């Protein structure tokens, strides 16, 4: 167990070592100590898997208004215009900050900032700065190297937050009548020693990513288990728009590779989607063809697969030529070749897969949640930027822009005295006797979410899913109460929380919009609003739309 720390040394604890977490850490470390927890290796996470790039309003043919319009159109009427404008206005600054750090973006001597800009679905112009087809890894490697060398930042690999420390965890002697609710730190599991420590913090930042692993098929890494969303919900924070799970249209379909993404930029450069007989089908679904927003392309592929009884479609880029493909998409070219697919001569088999969580913990533009002392940045959050469908490459941009504003807000706060927190109590639990229960429930949850809460939904399917989730929750809660925690158990507990949030959000939206398509409510309402879930106090299953 950790002991008390002096007021001057109380750190900011950041959960997650992706772009959002590292951006906050680098800005904060100028003035105060920072602890970053990563539940797996530091190199793992969604950022390093991002292929496409980061939006920058940089070109002479571009404007902030144009980017905002594209964001709003992709977001299907639910984008917060103020948020979109703020982030677009700071996009050039965000890209420049990454360039200053040494991120090796693909160059173009004639391009703005000397960068090559590409175009992706939903964008009116070329505005995506990229590092070939491995932008996320290029950015992550540079920032992680800087973070590792920073004297004010402590990195802890293989540490996972169990739960947030709030007022209910304070020792009775430290509580006062009418005391304002606040986040005071986290209980954190050292995965190697199996010990839970108490980490007091001046502020906690959730940068844990999305919830893709709640689905059987996903482009997300194993870290994407909705930890931040679930912990914030349990602590009383509002959660919004969880029904809008973005399914990336083109994940590689191959028995040896279930999570490899085929970047949208390949379609942006001219890749064509085809049926097994070679017929192009996207123009039949949208006049923008392969460059339509992701929700439209994913539904079109799902429709064609079901119509023709096939288990995948083809993405044909052979006409772009071997030299072009090797230069612009070296990662995809090499990985496909390892699997026996020469993309310069053969089309790529692809299927949709869960890719991005457009909803999450409600925050403002400074990353503040409903609970003082608790912040959130990145895919964990709902800021209003993504609406009912995220525009390609807006995600990395959001991390950088709001990572800075979050750090600035934390710096402006008055330092807090270290609280007297109750230690983690394991006196009433034992070691797990049958861990097969965890793997069985994990598999069942992911399968039912895929079958009942996927790209196309019905009310009956959603109700069946909710019934099964409640039964699983009961089993998981019993298991959590009886046995010592492990990473697998904590992730399963967080996933079942997020699954219920997704299903209840979907049931409350009686229309089809963006990423949420219901056969029972196929039409889009003329006016709609975000789905905001609020946890009523003292009622176990109380929800407010």
Catalytic residue among 294, 473, 509, 513: 294
**Are the beta carbons of 65 and 71 closer than 8 angstroms?**
no
Q: Tokens for 359, please give them.
A: 């909803």
**Are the beta carbons of 277 and 418 closer than 8 angstroms?**
no
Q: Which domains does the chain have, with CATH numbers?
A: 249-353 (3.90.700.10), 436-530 (1.20.58.100)
Residues with Cβ within 8 Å of 295's Cβ and at least 6 positions away in sequence, in order, are 76, 246, 247, 388, 389, 514, 515, 517
Distance CA 310, CA 104 (A): 40
Q: How far is CA 1 from CA 90, 187, 431, 482, in A?
A: 42, 10, 19, 21
DSSP three-state, residue 368: strand
CB atoms within 10 A of CB 150: 14
Taking the alpha carbons of 307, 444, 476, 380 in that order, is the dihedral positive or negative?
negative
Distance CA 71, CA 95 (A): 18
Q: How far is CA 15 from CA 21, 82, 142, 321, 406, in A?
A: 7, 27, 19, 43, 14
Q: Is 454 left (phi over 0), alpha (psi -120 to 50) or beta?
A: beta
H or E element at residue 15: strand 12-15
In this prediction, residue 176 carries a pLDDT of: 64
One digit per residue, the tens of pLDDT, for the chain of length 545 reads: 333 333 457 899 999 999 999 999 999 999 999 999 999 988 887 787 777 799 999 988 999 999 999 999 999 999 999 999 999 999 999 999 999 999 999 999 988 999 999 888 789 999 999 998 789 899 999 999 999 999 999 999 999 999 999 988 887 655 566 678 899 999 999 999 999 999 999 999 999 999 999 998 888 888 999 999 999 999 999 999 999 999 988 999 988 877 788 988 899 899 999 999 999 999 999 999 998 877 789 889 988 988 898 989 999 999 999 999 999 999 999 999 999 999 999 999 999 999 899 999 999 999 999 999 999 999 999 999 999 999 989 999 999 999 999 999 999 988 777 778 888 877 777 777 667 788 899 999 999 998 899 999 999 999 999 999 999 999 999 889 888 899 999 999 999 999 999 999 999 999 999 999 999 999 999 999 999 999 876 544 443 33
H or E element at residue 362: strand 360-362
Distance CA 196, CA 430 (A): 14
Three-state SS for 282-298 is: HHHCCCCHHHCCHHHHH
In this prediction, residue 78 carries a pLDDT of: 97
In this prediction, residue 72 carries a pLDDT of: 95
Q: Is 445 exposed, middle or buried (0-12, 13-18, 19+ CB in 10 A)?
A: buried
Q: Tokens for 251, please give them.
A: 């994940």
Distance CA 293, CA 296 (A): 6
Q: Tokens for 147, please give them.
A: 């973070």
Concatenating the DSSP letter of every residue in 255-274 gives: TTBSS-B--HHHHHTT-EEE
In this prediction, residue 248 carries a pLDDT of: 86
H or E element at residue 250: strand 245-252
In this prediction, residue 420 carries a pLDDT of: 82
DSSP one-letter code for 179: P
Residue 178 backbone phi and psi in degrees, to 5? 70, 15
Q: Tokens for 506, please give them.
A: 């979907």
Catalytic residue flag (residue 294): yes
Distance CA 219, CA 257 (A): 10
CB atoms within 10 A of CB 530: 18
In this prediction, residue 541 carries a pLDDT of: 42
Taking the alpha carbons of 71, 76, 78, 81 in that order, is the dihedral positive or negative?
positive
**Are the beta carbons of 113 and 27 closer than 8 angstroms?**
no
């Amino acid at each position: 167990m950790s002991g008390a720390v002096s007021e001057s040394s109380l750190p900011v604890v950041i959960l997650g070592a992706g772009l959002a977490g590292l951006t906050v850490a680098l800005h904060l470390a100028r003035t105060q100590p920072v602890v970053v927890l990563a539940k797996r290796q530091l190199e793992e996470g969604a950022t390093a898997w991002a292929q496409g790039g980061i939006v920058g309003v940089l070109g002479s043919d571009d404007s902030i208004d144009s980017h905002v319009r594209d964001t709003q159109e992709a977001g299907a009427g639910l984008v917060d215009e103020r948020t979109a404008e703020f982030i677009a206005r700071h996009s050039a600054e965000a890209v420049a900050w990454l360039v200053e750090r040494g991120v090796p973006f693909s160059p173009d001597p004639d391009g703005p900032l000397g960068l090559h800009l590409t175009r992706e679905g939903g964008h009116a112009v070329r505005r995506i700065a990229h590092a070939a087809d491995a932008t996320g890894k290029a950015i992550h490697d540079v920032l992680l190297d800087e973070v590792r060398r920073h004297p004010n930042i402590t990195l802890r690999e293989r540490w996972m937050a169990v739960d947030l420390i709030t007022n209910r965890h304070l020792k009775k002697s430290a509580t006062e009548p009418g005391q304002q609710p606040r986040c005071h730190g986290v209980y954190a599991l050292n995965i190697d020693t199996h010990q839970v420590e108490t980490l007091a913090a001046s502020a906690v930042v959730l940068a844990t990513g999305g919830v893709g692993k709640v689905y059987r098929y996903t482009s997300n890494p194993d870290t994407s288990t909705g930890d931040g969303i679930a912990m914030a919900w349990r602590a009383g924070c509002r959660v919004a728009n969880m029904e809008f799970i973005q399914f990336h249209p083109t994940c590689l379909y191959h028995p040896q590779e279930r999570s490899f993404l085929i970047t949208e930029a390949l379609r942006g450069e001219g890749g064509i989607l085809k049926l097994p007989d070679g017929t192009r089908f996207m123009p039949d679904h949208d006049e923008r063809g392969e460059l339509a927003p992701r929700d439209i392309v994913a539904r079109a592929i799902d429709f064609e697969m079901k119509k023709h009884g096939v288990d995948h479609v083809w993405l044909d880029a052979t006409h772009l030529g071997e030299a072009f493909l090797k230069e612009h998409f070296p990662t995809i070219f090499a990985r496909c070749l390892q699997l026996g697919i020469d993309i310069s001569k053969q089309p790529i088999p692809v299927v949709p897969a869960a890719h991005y969580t457009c909803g999450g913990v409600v925050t403002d533009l400074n990353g503040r949640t409903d609970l003082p002392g608790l912040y959130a940045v990145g895919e964990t959050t709902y800021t209003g930027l993504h609406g009912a469908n995220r525009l390609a490459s807006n995600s990395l941009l959001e991390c950088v822009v709001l990572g800075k504003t979050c750090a600035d807000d934390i710096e402006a706060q008055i330092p807090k005295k270290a609280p007297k927190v109750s230690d983690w109590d394991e006196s009433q639990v034992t070691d797990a006797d049958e861990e097969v229960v965890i793997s069985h429930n994990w598999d069942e949850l992911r399968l039912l979410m895929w079958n009942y809460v996927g790209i196309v939904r019905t009310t009956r399917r959603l109700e069946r899913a909710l019934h099964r989730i409640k039964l699983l929750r009961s089993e998981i809660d019993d298991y959590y109460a009886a046995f010592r925690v492990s990473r697998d158990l904590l992730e399963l507990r967080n996933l079942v929380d997020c699954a219920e949030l997704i299903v209840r959000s979907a049931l409350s939206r009686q229309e089809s919009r963006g990423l949420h398509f219901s056969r029972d409510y196929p039409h889009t309402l003329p006016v709609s609003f975000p789905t905001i879930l609020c946890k009523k106090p003292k009622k176990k299953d109380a929800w407010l739309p």
